Protein backbone atom coordinates (compact mmCIF):
# COMPACT_ATOMS: atom_id res chain seq x y z
CA UNK A 1 0.00 0.00 0.00
CA UNK A 2 0.86 3.66 -0.07
CA UNK A 3 3.52 4.92 2.32
CA UNK A 4 4.18 8.60 3.00
CA UNK A 5 7.25 9.88 4.83
CA UNK A 6 8.23 13.28 6.19
CA UNK A 7 11.01 14.75 8.26
CA UNK A 8 9.90 15.34 11.84
CA UNK A 9 10.99 18.88 12.67
CA UNK A 10 11.89 22.20 11.03
CA UNK A 11 12.89 25.42 12.76
CA UNK A 12 13.00 28.76 10.93
CA UNK A 13 13.17 32.43 11.80
CA UNK A 14 10.21 34.70 11.23
CA UNK A 15 10.37 36.20 7.74
CA UNK A 16 12.43 33.35 6.28
CA UNK A 17 11.09 30.75 3.87
CA UNK A 18 10.19 27.27 5.12
CA UNK A 19 10.43 24.16 2.98
CA UNK A 20 8.71 21.00 4.19
CA UNK A 21 9.44 17.79 2.30
CA UNK A 22 7.52 14.58 1.74
CA UNK A 23 8.12 11.35 -0.17
CA UNK A 24 5.47 8.89 -1.25
CA UNK A 25 5.50 5.46 -2.81
CA UNK A 26 2.37 5.13 -4.97
CA UNK A 27 3.09 6.59 -8.39
CA UNK A 28 -0.60 6.37 -9.33
CA UNK A 29 -1.63 9.02 -6.78
CA UNK A 30 -3.92 11.46 -8.56
CA UNK A 31 -3.78 14.21 -5.98
CA UNK A 32 -1.39 15.03 -3.16
CA UNK A 33 -2.36 17.17 -0.23
CA UNK A 34 -0.94 19.38 2.47
CA UNK A 35 -2.84 19.75 5.73
CA UNK A 36 -2.01 21.97 8.73
CA UNK A 37 -2.79 21.04 12.32
CA UNK A 38 -2.52 23.52 15.16
CA UNK A 39 -2.23 22.25 18.75
CA UNK A 40 -5.35 20.42 19.90
CA UNK A 41 -7.19 21.13 16.67
CA UNK A 42 -8.39 19.22 13.62
CA UNK A 43 -6.76 19.31 10.21
CA UNK A 44 -7.03 22.29 7.90
CA UNK A 45 -6.72 21.61 4.17
CA UNK A 46 -4.04 24.02 2.96
CA UNK A 47 -3.63 23.07 -0.66
CA UNK A 48 -3.40 20.16 -3.04
CA UNK A 49 -1.80 19.44 -6.37
CA UNK A 50 -2.88 17.27 -9.28
CA UNK A 51 -0.39 14.60 -10.22
CA UNK A 52 -0.09 16.06 -13.75
CA UNK A 53 1.24 19.36 -12.38
CA UNK A 54 4.78 20.27 -11.37
CA UNK A 55 4.00 23.33 -9.34
CA UNK A 56 1.10 25.14 -7.74
CA UNK A 57 1.23 28.55 -6.11
CA UNK A 58 -1.37 29.90 -3.71
CA UNK A 59 -0.44 33.19 -2.03
CA UNK A 60 2.51 32.41 0.28
CA UNK A 61 2.36 28.69 -0.44
CA UNK A 62 4.18 26.94 -3.28
CA UNK A 63 3.85 23.22 -3.85
CA UNK A 64 6.43 21.43 -5.97
CA UNK A 65 5.91 17.89 -7.25
CA UNK A 66 8.67 15.70 -8.66
CA UNK A 67 6.88 12.61 -9.93
CA UNK A 68 10.05 10.87 -11.04
CA UNK A 69 11.46 10.97 -7.51
CA UNK A 70 8.00 10.78 -5.83
CA UNK A 71 8.86 13.88 -3.88
CA UNK A 72 6.52 16.64 -2.78
CA UNK A 73 7.46 19.87 -1.06
CA UNK A 74 5.61 22.78 0.52
CA UNK A 75 7.32 26.15 0.59
CA UNK A 76 5.95 28.87 2.84
CA UNK A 77 7.25 32.32 1.97
CA UNK A 78 7.72 34.99 4.66
CA UNK A 79 7.00 32.53 7.45
CA UNK A 80 5.07 33.99 10.39
CA UNK A 81 4.73 32.81 13.99
CA UNK A 82 1.14 31.91 13.16
CA UNK A 83 2.50 29.30 10.74
CA UNK A 84 3.86 27.30 13.68
CA UNK A 85 2.01 23.97 13.47
CA UNK A 86 2.32 20.39 12.29
CA UNK A 87 2.14 19.96 8.54
CA UNK A 88 0.94 16.68 7.04
CA UNK A 89 1.46 15.40 3.55
CA UNK A 90 -1.30 13.01 2.42
CA UNK A 91 -2.06 10.83 -0.56
CA UNK A 92 -5.22 8.90 -1.50
CA UNK A 93 -4.69 5.18 -1.23
CA UNK A 94 -5.78 4.55 -4.80
CA UNK A 95 -8.90 2.59 -3.86
CA UNK A 96 -12.53 3.45 -4.47
CA UNK A 97 -13.02 5.28 -1.18
CA UNK A 98 -10.14 7.79 -1.61
CA UNK A 99 -9.20 7.38 2.01
CA UNK A 100 -6.08 9.35 2.80
CA UNK A 101 -2.70 8.00 3.85
CA UNK A 102 -0.86 10.54 5.98
CA UNK A 103 2.77 11.06 6.78
CA UNK A 104 3.87 11.38 10.40
CA UNK A 105 3.85 15.17 10.11
CA UNK A 106 6.52 17.87 10.26
CA UNK A 107 6.52 20.19 13.24
CA UNK A 108 7.34 23.71 12.04
CA UNK A 109 8.65 26.01 14.76
CA UNK A 110 8.91 29.67 13.83
CA UNK A 111 11.29 31.70 15.98
CA UNK A 112 10.51 35.42 16.37
CA UNK B 1 -14.15 26.34 10.97
CA UNK B 2 -14.49 23.81 8.14
CA UNK B 3 -18.20 23.21 8.67
CA UNK B 4 -17.66 19.70 10.04
CA UNK B 5 -18.53 19.48 13.74
CA UNK B 6 -17.77 16.82 16.31
CA UNK B 7 -19.12 16.24 19.78
CA UNK B 8 -17.82 16.01 22.42
CA UNK B 9 -14.45 17.70 21.94
CA UNK B 10 -12.97 15.92 24.92
CA UNK B 11 -13.96 12.73 26.72
CA UNK B 12 -12.32 11.16 29.74
CA UNK B 13 -13.53 7.70 30.64
CA UNK B 14 -12.51 4.80 32.79
CA UNK B 15 -11.27 1.60 31.25
CA UNK B 16 -14.11 -0.74 30.46
CA UNK B 17 -16.73 1.96 29.88
CA UNK B 18 -18.49 2.56 26.57
CA UNK B 19 -18.21 5.87 24.74
CA UNK B 20 -19.98 7.34 21.72
CA UNK B 21 -18.84 10.20 19.52
CA UNK B 22 -20.85 12.15 17.00
CA UNK B 23 -19.87 13.76 13.72
CA UNK B 24 -21.99 16.21 11.73
CA UNK B 25 -20.53 16.59 8.23
CA UNK B 26 -21.06 19.50 5.86
CA UNK B 27 -24.72 19.16 4.92
CA UNK B 28 -24.43 18.29 1.24
CA UNK B 29 -21.51 15.91 1.70
CA UNK B 30 -22.43 12.28 1.06
CA UNK B 31 -19.04 10.75 1.88
CA UNK B 32 -17.85 10.50 5.48
CA UNK B 33 -14.63 9.17 6.98
CA UNK B 34 -13.44 8.41 10.51
CA UNK B 35 -9.73 8.54 11.30
CA UNK B 36 -7.78 8.00 14.50
CA UNK B 37 -4.69 9.98 15.44
CA UNK B 38 -2.34 8.96 18.24
CA UNK B 39 0.29 11.23 19.71
CA UNK B 40 3.08 12.05 17.31
CA UNK B 41 1.46 10.27 14.38
CA UNK B 42 -0.57 11.19 11.36
CA UNK B 43 -4.24 10.23 11.18
CA UNK B 44 -5.04 6.62 10.29
CA UNK B 45 -8.18 5.57 8.46
CA UNK B 46 -10.84 3.72 10.45
CA UNK B 47 -13.99 3.56 8.33
CA UNK B 48 -15.86 5.09 5.39
CA UNK B 49 -19.52 5.78 4.63
CA UNK B 50 -21.12 6.69 1.35
CA UNK B 51 -24.55 8.02 2.29
CA UNK B 52 -25.78 5.55 4.91
CA UNK B 53 -23.74 2.57 3.68
CA UNK B 54 -20.56 1.63 5.50
CA UNK B 55 -18.37 0.55 2.59
CA UNK B 56 -14.96 0.07 4.15
CA UNK B 57 -13.54 -0.73 7.57
CA UNK B 58 -9.88 -0.74 8.55
CA UNK B 59 -8.27 -3.65 10.35
CA UNK B 60 -7.71 -1.11 13.12
CA UNK B 61 -11.45 -1.24 13.78
CA UNK B 62 -11.75 -4.12 16.22
CA UNK B 63 -15.03 -5.75 17.21
CA UNK B 64 -15.32 -3.24 20.06
CA UNK B 65 -15.78 -0.42 17.56
CA UNK B 66 -18.98 0.24 15.66
CA UNK B 67 -19.97 3.13 13.45
CA UNK B 68 -23.29 4.15 11.98
CA UNK B 69 -24.70 6.80 9.69
CA UNK B 70 -28.41 6.05 9.92
CA UNK B 71 -29.87 8.60 7.53
CA UNK B 72 -26.80 9.50 5.56
CA UNK B 73 -26.32 12.66 7.57
CA UNK B 74 -24.58 12.59 10.98
CA UNK B 75 -22.48 9.62 12.05
CA UNK B 76 -21.68 8.03 15.38
CA UNK B 77 -18.64 6.03 16.45
CA UNK B 78 -19.03 3.83 19.51
CA UNK B 79 -16.25 2.13 21.41
CA UNK B 80 -17.28 -0.60 23.83
CA UNK B 81 -15.20 -1.75 26.80
CA UNK B 82 -12.62 0.96 26.28
CA UNK B 83 -8.94 0.17 26.76
CA UNK B 84 -6.05 2.51 27.47
CA UNK B 85 -4.79 1.93 23.94
CA UNK B 86 -7.97 3.57 22.64
CA UNK B 87 -6.73 6.93 23.91
CA UNK B 88 -6.37 9.08 20.81
CA UNK B 89 -7.90 11.89 18.81
CA UNK B 90 -10.84 10.68 16.71
CA UNK B 91 -11.29 12.75 13.58
CA UNK B 92 -14.19 12.89 11.16
CA UNK B 93 -13.91 14.14 7.59
CA UNK B 94 -16.43 14.63 4.82
CA UNK B 95 -16.51 15.28 1.11
CA UNK B 96 -19.01 15.46 -1.73
CA UNK B 97 -19.34 13.14 -4.70
CA UNK B 98 -16.19 12.86 -6.75
CA UNK B 99 -14.45 15.74 -4.98
CA UNK B 100 -11.06 14.89 -3.53
CA UNK B 101 -11.20 17.62 -0.88
CA UNK B 102 -11.74 16.07 2.54
CA UNK B 103 -12.69 18.55 5.23
CA UNK B 104 -11.94 17.59 8.80
CA UNK B 105 -13.75 18.36 12.00
CA UNK B 106 -11.97 19.51 15.18
CA UNK B 107 -11.77 15.97 16.56
CA UNK B 108 -12.78 14.27 19.79
CA UNK B 109 -9.89 13.65 22.16
CA UNK B 110 -10.47 10.46 24.15
CA UNK B 111 -8.52 9.71 27.31
CA UNK B 112 -9.00 6.30 28.90
CA UNK B 113 -7.80 6.10 32.50
For residue B41, the chain A residues in CB contact (below 8 A) are 104-105
Say what the pLDDT of residue B56 is. 94
- Could you tell me which residue, A1 or A38, shows the higher pLDDT? A38
H or E stretch including B20? strand B19-24
State the average pLDDT for chain A: 92
Pairing of strands B108-112, B10-13: parallel
Q: Which of B41, B55, B104 sits opposite A43 (nearest CB)?
A: B104
For residue B31, the chain A residues in CB contact (below 8 A) are 97-98
Cβ separation of A88 and B43 shorter than 8 Å?
Answer: yes
| Cβ atoms of A2 and A24 closer than 8 Å | yes
Average pLDDT over residues B3-30: 96
Distance from C-alpha of B45 to C-alpha of B34, rounded to nearest angstrom: 6
**Model pLDDT for residues B48-82, shown as the tens digit of each residue:** 999 999 999 999 888 999 999 998 899 999 999 99
pLDDT at position A28 over 80: no
Amino acid sequence: GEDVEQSLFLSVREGDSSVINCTYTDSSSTYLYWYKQEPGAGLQLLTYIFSNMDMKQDQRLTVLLNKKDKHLSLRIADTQTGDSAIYFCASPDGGATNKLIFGTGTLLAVQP
Amino acid sequence: DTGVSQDPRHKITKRGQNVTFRCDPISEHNRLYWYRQTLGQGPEFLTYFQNEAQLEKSRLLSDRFSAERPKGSFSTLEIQRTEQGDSAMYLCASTQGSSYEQYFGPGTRLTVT
